[in-house]
Amino acid sequence: MSINAAKAFLYQGKTALLICDVQEKFVKAIFEFDKIVHNSTKLINAFKLLEVPTLVSEQNPKALGKTIPQFDISGAKGPFAKMTFSMYTPEISKEISTLCNGSPPEAIVLIGVETHVCVENTAIDLRRHGFEVHTVADCCSSRTQEDRLLALERMKQIGCHISTSENVIFKLMAHAKHEQFKKIQALVKTPSQYTGLVAISKI
């Protein structure tokens, strides 16, 4: 197995979830917001079953509000308020260093808004500090589809794994004998919402 292929795996106990700035004031501004919320909720609930440590940030919450109530972030670290566009603040980086049973994660699954601002800046900082980053494309968005898609391409160019919600769920679960398989199977029974990431052929 190549080194690059090995880095594409996700392992329980070595993976963390970062939720970036999915806040109340973005509800009407973000492209396909409701669909992003649907996909993200499925991912968050599955990761809770898989006991993935989670950390949440909020950009200037006094102006942009709290994390949306649809997300069950009970048990998560945070929310941590920030003014920088990257989540990798000194406070949050300290939390990340012990997020997986006292150790830093090997891989970080990243979701949130806006893709071309806070998500991308977070991904850059995480890559700079040696983390494998799995940006979940159908759980990230921006005000425009153009900004969103170009940001995903830039993150791919710096070595991020561009994934989907079900991809990271099943990658982390690894096999159908997992003790949470039936519960997660129920969660994914409803397909992820289409958010315009790929063209649909009319043929």
From the list 21, 42, 125, 139, the catalytic residue is 21
The region, left, alpha or beta by phi > 0 then psi within -120 to 50, assigned to residue 13 is: left
Q: Using H for helix, E for strand and C for coil, what is the string for the chain?
A: CCHHHHHCCCCCCCEEEEEECCEHHHCCCCCCHHHHHHHHHHHHHHHHHCCCCEEEEEECHHHHCCECCCCCCCCCEEEEEECCCCCCCHHHHHHHCCCECCECCCEEEEEEECHHHHHHHHHHHHHHCCCEEEEEEEEEECCCHHHHHHHHHHHHHCCCEEECHHHHHHHHHCCCCCCCHHHHHHHCCCCCCCCCCCCCCCC
**3 falls within a domain:** no
Annotation says 21 is catalytic? yes
pLDDT score for 6: 73
pLDDT score for 203: 47
100: CATH: 3.40.50.850
Annotation says 118 is catalytic? yes
* Residue-range definition of the domain harbouring residue 26: 9-187
pLDDT score for 5: 73
**26 falls within a domain:** yes
From the list 42, 77, 100, 118, the catalytic residue is 118
Contact partners, residue 146, CB within 8 Å, separation at least 6? none
How confident is the prediction along the chain (203 residues), in pLDDT tens digits per residue? 555 777 889 999 999 999 999 999 999 999 999 999 999 999 999 999 999 999 999 999 999 999 999 999 999 999 999 999 999 999 999 999 999 999 999 999 999 999 999 999 999 999 999 999 999 999 999 999 999 999 999 999 999 999 999 999 999 999 999 999 999 999 999 999 999 998 665 54
**2 falls within a domain:** no
**139 falls within a domain:** yes
**192 falls within a domain:** no
The pTM assigned to this predicted structure is 0.95
From the list 82, 125, 138, 140, the catalytic residue is 82
**194 falls within a domain:** no
**202 falls within a domain:** no
Number of domains in the chain: 1
With beta carbons less than 8 A apart as the criterion, state whether 20 and 122 touch. Answer: yes
Copy the structure tokens of residue 125: 């900082």
**158 falls within a domain:** yes
d(CA 170, CA 42): 12
